[in-house]
Structure 1
Amino acid sequence: MGYFDRDVLRPDDAALIDAYSQTVADAVDLVGPAVSRIERADGRPGHGSGFAISPDGLIITNHHVVEETKTVRIRAANGSVGHGTVLGRDPDTDIALIRADMDVQSWARLGNSKTLRRGHVAVAIGNPLGFDWSVTTGVVSALGRSMRASNGRLIDDVIQTDAALNPGNSGGPLVSSSGEVVGVNTAVIMGAQGIAFAVASNTANFVVSEILRFGQVRRAFIGIAGDTVALPRRIALQAGAVQTTTVRIRRIEPASPAAHGGLREGDYIIAVDTLPVAGVDDLIRHLDGSRIGRMVALTVYDVDGNLVTRYVEPASRAG
């Protein structure tokens, strides 16, 4: 069906279409003026999108838009041009925070991404392929996805949407029908048909808070290298574990929290504070900033064949 003929629509259908259009237009009116075009000030090619979240010029974008540059060029929706300083970046979530040196006329509100449901309206605003301030719409296709960041780490709680994204959309907002930002558009699977992703707004909010408070995103560090391996059934039965895979320690750094806690190469880490560990990504996720500087109980099946609890005090690792 290439077009709608209003003359053949039932009155109720026409009203629904009008209501949907008005909802999208209202959301765009609220958030659109906060969206900007972000370019690296070092002259390297490429650009992305960003959006202001406060009147004092805080702008969220993607880490891969700014990479390691310290300053960026900003072009606002009202046509004004200025520069910004990158306050911090988190490759693990593909989020970066900029402070603009220009007046910010409009800013967007970060909503609670936990209130999203599949099927909710999703509106993407950005600057794809040089077509500035483009709007695409779709629905939330799935929630709680995981995808790899550019550094190989897993980004959790990713929103999947079918709102069309293209190069240049990165860093722009994914907006709900109420005009709140519920995600930061981050990637599209090239060659796929309409599958796109956004980092959840709750994750972005956490990253922004960490950068503003500490200048970086803190994560717990225990000093091991490990592999995701199959969990032998006899060990799973002995540990009462429900997962079929886990982490086996491959290397331990000298004088690290893991070394001080008695962990050894070849140990299986079954759980962190009773939270199951089904792989390296689980271990990374469980070792967040809240566990820095306090004893953490690791359920371990050690190289001697014993199921034991090891206590480790994680240190801080910059994100």
Structure 2
Amino acid sequence: MPRRVWWGLVTLVVIVALVSTYAVTRPPGPPVLTQRDVDTSVQRGIEKQAEADAAAPADGSVAHATIAPSLVLIQTRDTVAGEQQEGSGAGVVVNEDGTVLTALHVVDGSTNITVTFADGTTSPAKVATEKPESDIATLTPSKLPETVVPAVLGGGVAVGAPVFAVGHPLGLTDSLSAGVVSALDRTVRVEGDRKLEHLIQIDAAVNPGNSGGPLLNKAGQVVGIVTGLANPTDQSLFVGIGFAVPIATAGGAAGSPPR
């Protein structure tokens, strides 16, 4: 066999051997993603989320369960110019003495105040302290329930944080609405030239009967006291903007005797 042909055959054999070896030993390429893979992954994610949702109750459920034993219904009944006037609002028990923190305008000027505790205990109450510039008052009931459960007071909140307003809107007792903090440090004009400052703005629904009730974070801690709602039509209907006094202001405001 001519030398040139022989070397050609040797070269061909070597090339074939190298190609075969590479085909066997080369690392595998990236796997091909199929629709079945996608469907399986999505289904697995749905199942895991369902398991997590079942294991952990929603924030609103936690907040409501935490505050429910401390929530108070406040009712007023007075005779003005020969006519009987009634009002209602909410409040929250803040210490073991049964002191109720609420909005001043709920009880302002009333001489006949009744509070109803979470267990159904009813009692006359009197205004103990008030701070008009913050629309905050405290009430002292003459009778307490067998078990007094003070609310847990929280700290500050940030814009965008989830919050819950709990109260008795439009006579619907023990109602919770959810939203977020829309803004901080708001100033609102309430009567004449009187202003409330440094308020928390929220989009959680608030209506007449929510006033004085607690604004909660997702842990059920009180971060504010609901004071009112934006009312451009003078019809006291919620238009997506409510306000609350920060708990640091509300707690510190309850130190002045009634006028």
Determine what percentage of the aligned residue pairs are the same residue.
Answer: 33
Match of 2:246 in 1: 200
Question: How do 1:134-149 and structure 2 match up within 5 A?
Answer: 134-149=175-190
Match of 2:16 in 1: none
- Call closer, same or farther: CA 1:119–1:71 in 2, change over 3 Å: same
Residues of 1 paired with 2:123 and 2:197: CA distance?
Answer: 33
2:218 paired with 1:172: no
TM-score where L is the length of structure 2? 0.71
By how many angstroms is 1:128 displaced?
Answer: 0.5
- Call closer, same or farther: CA 1:75–1:188 in 2, change over 3 Å: same
Question: How do 1:182-261 and structure 2 match up within 5 A?
Answer: 182-190=223-231, 193-208=239-254, 210-211=255-256, 215=257
Aligned length: 205
For residues 25-70 of structure 1, give each alpha carbon's deviation from its aligned partner in whole angstroms, at most 9, with x where no partner exists: 1221111221111111435222111111011111011111111124
Aligned 8 A contact 1:84 1:99 in 2 = yes
Match of 2:68 in 1: 32
For residues 91-130 of structure 1, give each alpha carbon's deviation from its aligned partner in whole angstroms, at most 9, with x where no partner exists: 21111110111214222122222xx111111011100101
Aligned 8 A contact 1:41 1:71 in 2 = yes
What is the RMSD computed on CA atoms of the aligned residues?
2.4
Question: How do 1:97-136 and structure 2 match up within 5 A?
Answer: 97-104=138-145, 105-113=148-156, 116-136=157-177
Residues of 2 paired with 1:71 and 1:150: CA distance?
Answer: 23
Match of 1:94 in 2: 135
Q: Which structure: greater helix fraction?
A: 2
- Call closer, same or farther: CA 1:20–1:202 in 2, change over 3 Å: farther
2:126 paired with 1:85: yes
Q: Which runs of 5+ in 2 are unaligned?
A: 1-42, 79-83
Residues of 1 paired with 2:241 and 2:125: CA distance?
Answer: 31
Residues of 1 paired with 2:161 and 2:51: CA distance?
Answer: 19
- Call closer, same or farther: CA 1:50–1:151 in 2, change over 3 Å: farther
By how many angstroms is 1:18 displaced?
Answer: 5.5
Residues of 2 paired with 1:24 and 1:82: CA distance?
Answer: 29
TM-score where L is the length of structure 1? 0.59
By how many angstroms is 1:150 displaced?
Answer: 3.3
Which gives a bigger RCO, structure 1 or 2 (Cα 8 Å, sep 6+)? Answer: 2
Aligned 8 A contact 1:83 1:100 in 2 = yes
By how many angstroms is 1:21 displaced?
Answer: 4.5
